[in-house]
Structure 1
Amino acid sequence: MPFIALLLAAAEVAVDQILKLLVVRNLMPVGTVTLIPHFLSLQYLENRGAAFGILQNRQWAIALITGIICVFIVVAMFRYQERTKLFMTVCTLILGGGVGNILDRLLRGYVVDYIHFHFFPFIFNFADICVVVGVALLIISLFLPSHEPKTEENHA
């Protein structure tokens, strides 16, 4: 199962990088394209920070932290014995999104963002969506009942 998850994460990275390439080639020259007035637009942005614009111009630090998290995820995917589909989905989403944005930081010096919902003040990209959905699923999974059988050791 970990190898399939790694292939899916690589596919995420490929989709992310293709979308960003299309954005750089087609959206950068025009800046903004409105898709749904007063709701959704594509807007070219070079994000030199982390989520929500924090840690501006600290690309190497952000890339290093993200890289460490990605290595931790890959190790967990192979070593953790209780690999559920939800666990592997969380790992795949966070890993693919993290690597997609690391590539931008290392190759461009910034992350290409382009999705702007007008009711939300920030502009983001496909990789960001993958990470946010992965983290949301992780948080939700913490509240799901465990399928682990209860034993005397669990009650101690």
Structure 2
Amino acid sequence: MQKERDSGSPGQSQTGTVPDRVDKERSEASPVRHRRKLGLLLVAAALVVTFDQLSKRWVAANRPEMELVPGFLDLVYVRNWGAAFGLLASHTELLIAIGIAGSIILLVFFHYMSPVADLGVLSFALLLGGAVGNLVDRIRFGYVVDFISVQFIRWPPFNIADASITVGIFALLYFFYRSGVFSQTYERSHRARG
């Protein structure tokens, strides 16, 4: 007995289409596998936080002012009382609340997405580790220690947590693109309209 598929009917997926791949990945995401991915997420995020905190501790203790790569990269010591670009500098409590809420949202979103691919897990880990790394500073000191200064462009100093968040955002966007999340959302919105 052969199954027939009407490839032109809306709502039915063709073999090998984006929805099929996403459904297959979700069916492979068993509770055991999800726990393993959650464990990987937490370990990777903890490594980011550890590396971030150790680097900030060293910089705060030594307060270096040195050129790492001439004309390109310097090591400095800056207390950043705000968020990116010094925004909300006098609102430490708000920044702490945003950091906590953002971390919780990342965990909920990770649970909902349940990414099978390691790139998806790593993306979430970089974001979570970066958010928690800066959150630890804000709770302990009321400010974040920044120490990496790029010289070839005008850019404020940043730290390992900031770099982790930036790389995590781009990695997550790439993961969404590769996994077909954008295509699936686009297809759903067109089916809903038509």
Both proteins in one fold, TM over 0.5 = yes
1:5 maps to which residue? 41
1:96–1:130 CA contact under 8 A, matched in 2: yes
Normalised TM-score (structure 1): 0.86
CA shift at 1:137, angstroms? Answer: 1.5
1:35–1:41 CA contact under 8 A, matched in 2: yes
1:77–1:83 CA contact under 8 A, matched in 2: no
Among candidates 1, 7, 23, match of residue 59 of structure 2:
23
1:96 maps to which residue? 129
Normalised TM-score (structure 2): 0.70
Q: Which moved more, 1:58-67 or 1:74-83?
A: 74-83
2:94 maps to which residue? 61
Q: What do you get for the CA RMSD once the two structures are aligned?
A: 2.3
| Per-residue Cα deviation, 1:67-94 (whole angstroms, up to 9, x for no partner) | 1111111123234344432221111000
2:145–2:159 CA contact under 8 A, matched in 1: yes
2:72–2:150 CA contact under 8 A, matched in 1: yes
1:35 maps to which residue? 68
Distance 1:139 1:57 in 2: 32
Task: For residue 78 of structure 2, give the secondary structure of its aligned residue in structure 1.
Answer: strand
2:59–2:147 CA contact under 8 A, matched in 1: yes
1:2 partner letter: L
Distance 2:111 2:136 in 1: 23
Distance 1:135 1:8 in 2: 16
Q: Percent identity?
A: 34
Structure with the greater alpha carbon radius of gyration:
2
Q: Which moved more, 1:87-96 or 1:32-41?
A: 32-41
CA shift at 1:66, angstroms? Answer: 1.7
| Per-residue Cα deviation, 1:6-44 (whole angstroms, up to 9, x for no partner) | 0110111111100000001112xx5x1111222111010
Q: How does 1:109-128 map to 2 (within 5 A)?
A: 109-120=142-153, 121-128=155-162
Q: Which moved more, 1:45-54 or 1:78-87?
A: 78-87
Extract unaligned runs of 5+ from structure 1.
none
Number of equivalenced pairs: 150
